Structure 1
Amino acid sequence: MTVARRGDQAAADRYVESIAARMNARVTQLSAAIRAALEEDITALRGDTRTAELLGASVEANVDTLLHALRHDIPVESIQSPAAAVSTPDALPSKVFRPTPWYAPTGWGSVA
């Protein structure tokens, strides 16, 4: 890697860190916007307070984890799913979340 390229990468890293830090101050607001968009798109979520609360916790935990990783330049392979995100699919009613072979988490038994 050339010196100029390393300088460009360092500048990009600082830029990503700065944006992530500013977004982190708004994690609750960002999470609420994502949750609202999901509830709008997935009709089965509407009117189910328990599911909406679980989804909200999961979204906020995921957003927080992502921003933390970006801010501190944590490699993707070192990031672990937050507990709220991991436990949410098991708690959602089957009308909302049906695992398929394309996105079923490991350990869910065999998927035909």
Structure 2
Amino acid sequence: MAYDELLADRIRGILTDQKGLREQKMFGGLAFLVRGKMVACVGTGDRALLVRVDGAREPEFLQFDGALHAVMGRGRSMGAGWITVDAAALENEAALQFWVSAALEHNANTAGK
């Protein structure tokens, strides 16, 4: 199953001004990297987006509609700050902008680490 091309285009539009933006196939989808670190990955199916956010703020982020802690396979946690977001929760631009901005904030705070 291919990743959501429309969602990928929407993310490209948000990230267009980011220096060092790179795309790479990863996790069965298309990842967007800034400064060599993943910001977001467009997946397949209902779990449409994977983002890397500040792990200390994960409980806050998990309160948003469609957000779940990311796991690899059966119950293998990806660690604090890895969140998947349902496709239905990303239908409006404000919601997608929120998640990409949260991931960019974390990316900027970990630059050089």
TM-score if structure 2 supplies the norm length? 0.29
The structure with higher relative contact order (CA 8 Å, sep 6+) is 1
Comparing both structures, which one devotes a greater share of its residues to helix? 1
**Which structure's CA Rg is the greater one?**
1
Greater strand content: 2
The TM-score, its normalising length taken from structure 1, stands at 0.29
